[in-house]
Structure 1
Amino acid sequence: MLFRYATRLACAAALLVGSSLTGVAHSQTLTMGAALQRALATSPRLTAAERDVGIARGQRIQSGALINPEISYDLDDSFGSGAYRGTRSAESALQISQMFELWGKRDARIAAGQAGLDTAAIERQAVRLEVLSEAAIAFLNVLGLQRRIEILDEQVDAIDKLTPLLQRRVDAGASSIAETGRAEVASALVKADRERTKASLATARRELAILIGDTAPKFSAVSGRLDSIGRPPSFQAVVTAIDANPQLVRWQAIYAQRNAQLILARLKPYPDVNLSVGWRRYNETGDNAVRLAVSVPIPLFDQNQGNILSAQESLAKTAAERKANRNTLIVLAGRAYDTLQGSLRELAILRETGIPKARDASAAIFEGYGQGRYSLLEVLDAQASVAQARLREQEAQQNFHVAVATIEGLVGNPFALARGSAR
């Protein structure tokens, strides 16, 4: 059921449909698919996560290494005095020793190393998901600000179109010259808003460029649509999907790693056996003999109790840490889901009533202004109402898609992000 709804979300994300690009020049537009691909290819966080996997792989290999044997040479009863002068009465021994791990210590160490490798691999998946979500949100911010500037440009054009009509009314004595100044002020205020938005767009473009591996934007614009909206799944379906998030899946590997460390701590007091075999030479008689030795440490004073307790608490801590992590993800998903639902309700009101009524009223007032039935202030207010309704629509659309991208970054199956090339 969730994936059926997920398909709808993916269709909503098809708002960003465009051909995938592996590189973009300054004169080209950037699509969502190209942005996601480049973010994955250039992300230093993802590179660092891959190095962590390599580090864990090395530790896993090392965990299975056998203990090296030791070779020793002893020379006794030499370089003394009297009969022990020089090496005439010396006894020499060449010996090789090998420590044998018992009680499954090596297996536990290997299990801990493998769990560490599994954890690093899952962490990499989590970082990949975060990189995709961050790049998608940055792309949507640029796309939304571009659209906002377009709306402000249209508002300025609408005000400027009043100038000829206003001038004719002034010439005919139907309007005061002060109304010309009022129109200029209205146009200037909108232009000021546009300049502020352009500054925000410059910042958003730079942030997106950094996420895709550039220090400055090398794209002229981003392409996509914000007006395509889909129906989301239920929040319970989202919560269920969160359990597949790599951030939560990794706790299984962490639990296995900590459990293996606890086993190692418990096994450490159990002694290992050190076997030695050597060859002894008696120079005084010219005789030779084999030397055998067995040594076993006595765990009399150190029972490793402190490390065992620490490992037990670390293992017991795992469940609480996973629950806290899951609660955090649910809170973040809840905020995004509420934003998504609120945006849908806001868009419904704006599209069904707000924008159509505002446009109808503006057209009627503009026509009546030419006939002298309305004042310039009423015309400007009507146009401003249309512009504000459209800006609210753009903001709601952007909020909706940012919320979708946020949720996609929190669930283990990134519905649309995994298929970014289709956008």
Structure 2
Amino acid sequence: MQRSVFVLMAALLLSLLTRPAAAAPLAGDTVRLSLSDAEQRFVQYNLNLLAQRYNVSAAEAQILQAKLWDNPTISLEQNAYNQLTHKTLDVTRTGNTAVQVQQLFALAGRRKAAASVAQQNALVEQFTLQDLLRTLRYQLRSTFYDLYFKQQSVGVYDKEVASFQRTVSLYQGQYDKGNIALKEVIRLKAFLFQLRNERQALLNDIASEQAELRTLMRDTTGAYYLPQADQNRLKALSLTGRTEAQLIDSAQVNRADLKARQAAVQQQTQNLRLQRALATPDLAVGYVYDRAGNYIQNYNALTLGVAVPIFNRNQGNIRTAQNQMEVSKAQLGQQQLQVQNDVQEAWRLARQNDQLYQGTDRETSDFDRLMKGIDESYAKRNLTVVEFLDFYESYKNNLVQLNNLRANRVRAFEQLNYAVGRPVFNAE
């Protein structure tokens, strides 16, 4: 009874293990993609960048608005009923018509100060756009290289699954002839099942990153991308010739988020100037014509008007502007410290990954030759199934981990570029 149950379970397991691997994308849906092409499409079509560009345009429009003069005010007065002539709305010489024109003039440089505030606000939006571009470009480049190395690892699994499938088929035939035990075939097929599961998990990660890449490039075709990279240039990435202090200085000059904070300080400085200018009242200059309602006919007069700053001298807004300026200065200092820490941490990470990479034997030809010998030794029964599978597991792990090491190293260099604010290390 127990033997029957064992045979039934073995048959079920064998049927699961021998299912075909997941199908690769159709050839017509596959697109080879270089990093430069990806960045070009990203800059042109990314919706987040497009939205921020509209914010920049809106801020620049406010500069024009701040420079505009106040509109003049024209008022007309007409008597509704003439008691002498008993006329309604008498517009003749016997009635009275009065016209007044008034123009407001800003004093103490208010319009200039308002324009300066708008200009600094536009600068903040421009630097915010640059910082968004920096962040999204880092996301694009990291996703691009992650995809590249994961697809290299999928190639390892594809090669090993195909090889192991042939081995399983061969030993299945030997089992059918009664030459080997069922448990040995089950061990082989279980390992094949493990390889396929690991490959599928990697394909799931790739599918997620493919979607992220298409979103960044605003691609609606659903294409499956094959990132292309120059292995020689990737290997040549090096920290030689650059110091941590140099990169920190470069970041202090190039980081757009830091420039945005600096522009915000200038914006609050100009806003303080504007609020002080608003404490000076505006001058209203006008002209009055009154045809018959004054002490003489056709009365003409010049009017001047100004608010007397007794109670409201804009004290609250001035104090608020002073506090906001101090807040922006504190935020600038915090951002400068953040930039320094970002570069220091990215520098250490890049150095550690590069040292690990440079100290690792990256030659795989010896492994390839060894595995051919392992296959032959197992076929001659010089190795047990456990030893055979252990060699295969080590071979696969070595290649996959080597690709992970390469990916981590390139990602560390990209993170250093991101921390500095410009592509100091470029493999494209």
TM range (shorter): 0.7 to 0.9
Quick one: distance in 2 between partners of 1:162 and 1:350? 31
SS at match of 1:28: strand
Higher relative contact order (Cα pairs below 8 Å, separated by 6+ residues): 1
Counterpart position of 2:192: 187
SS at match of 2:100: strand
Quick one: distance in 1 between partners of 2:394 and 2:294? 114
SS at match of 1:195: helix
Quick one: distance in 1 between partners of 2:303 and 2:225? 79
Asked whether 1:33 is paired with 2:36, we answer: yes
Q: Is the 8 A contact 2:357 2:409 kept in 1?
A: no
Quick one: distance in 1 between partners of 2:279 and 2:308? 9
**CA displacement, residues 213-253 of structure 1 (integer Å, 9 cap, x when unaligned):** 12353245222245732112433333222221111112232
Quick one: distance in 2 between partners of 1:241 and 1:149? 38
Match of 2:56 among 44, 53, 58: 53
Quick one: distance in 2 between partners of 1:285 and 1:55? 53
In structure 2, relative to structure 1, the CA distance for the partners of 1:172 and 1:373 (3 Å cut) is: farther
Match of 1:344 among 344, 354, 358: 354
Counterpart position of 1:115: 120
Counterpart position of 1:279: 289
SS at match of 2:299: strand
In structure 2, relative to structure 1, the CA distance for the partners of 1:381 and 1:294 (3 Å cut) is: same
Q: How does 1:316-395 map onto structure 2 within 5 Å? A: 316-351=326-361, 366=375, 368-370=377-379, 372-395=381-404
Q: Gaps (5+ residues) in structure 2?
A: 1-27
Q: Is the 8 A contact 1:90 1:284 kept in 2?
A: no
Moved more, 215-224 or 102-111: 215-224
Match of 1:71 among 49, 74, 87: 74
In structure 2, relative to structure 1, the CA distance for the partners of 1:173 and 1:287 (3 Å cut) is: closer
For residue 38 of structure 1, report the CA deviation from its aligned partner: 0.7
Q: Is the 8 A contact 1:206 1:216 kept in 2?
A: no
Asked whether 1:231 is paired with 2:238, we answer: yes
Quick one: distance in 2 between partners of 1:104 and 1:283? 38
Counterpart position of 1:62: 65
User: What percentage of aligned pairs have identical amino acids?
Assistant: 20
**CA displacement, residues 38-95 of structure 1 (integer Å, 9 cap, x when unaligned):** 111111111111111110111000110011221122346x637689996698654222
Quick one: distance in 1 between partners of 2:341 and 2:221? 34
Q: Which amino acid in structure 2 is aligned with residue 234 of structure 1?
A: T
Q: Is the 8 A contact 1:89 1:283 kept in 2?
A: no
Moved more, 29-38 or 324-333: 324-333
Quick one: distance in 2 between partners of 1:147 and 1:403? 19
For the aligned residues, what is the CA RMSD? Answer: 3.3
Q: Is the 8 A contact 1:266 1:304 kept in 2?
A: yes
Match of 1:265 among 275, 286, 290: 275
Q: Is the 8 A contact 1:226 1:401 kept in 2?
A: no
Asked whether 1:215 is paired with 2:217, we answer: no
**CA displacement, residues 102-123 of structure 1 (integer Å, 9 cap, x when unaligned):** 1111111111122122222222
Counterpart position of 1:132: 137
Quick one: distance in 1 between partners of 2:265 and 2:294? 62
SS at match of 1:350: coil
For residue 340 of structure 1, report the CA deviation from its aligned partner: 2.6
SS at match of 2:56: helix
Q: Is the 8 A contact 2:288 2:301 kept in 1?
A: yes
How many pairs does the alignment contain?
A: 393
In structure 2, relative to structure 1, the CA distance for the partners of 1:334 and 1:157 (3 Å cut) is: farther
Q: Which amino acid in structure 2 is aligned with residue 50 of structure 1?
A: R
Q: Is the 8 A contact 2:353 2:412 kept in 1?
A: no
SS at match of 2:419: coil
Counterpart position of 2:318: 308
Match of 2:423 among 414, 420, 423: 414
Quick one: distance in 1 between partners of 2:310 and 2:86? 40
Moved more, 332-341 or 212-221: 332-341
In structure 2, relative to structure 1, the CA distance for the partners of 1:91 and 1:70 (3 Å cut) is: same
TM-score, normalization by structure 1: 0.81
Moved more, 216-225 or 128-137: 216-225
SS at match of 2:288: strand
Quick one: distance in 2 between partners of 1:54 and 1:303? 34
**CA displacement, residues 359-402 of structure 1 (integer Å, 9 cap, x when unaligned):** 67656655554554432211211221121111111011111222
Quick one: distance in 2 between partners of 1:195 and 1:118? 48
In structure 2, relative to structure 1, the CA distance for the partners of 1:316 and 1:110 (3 Å cut) is: same
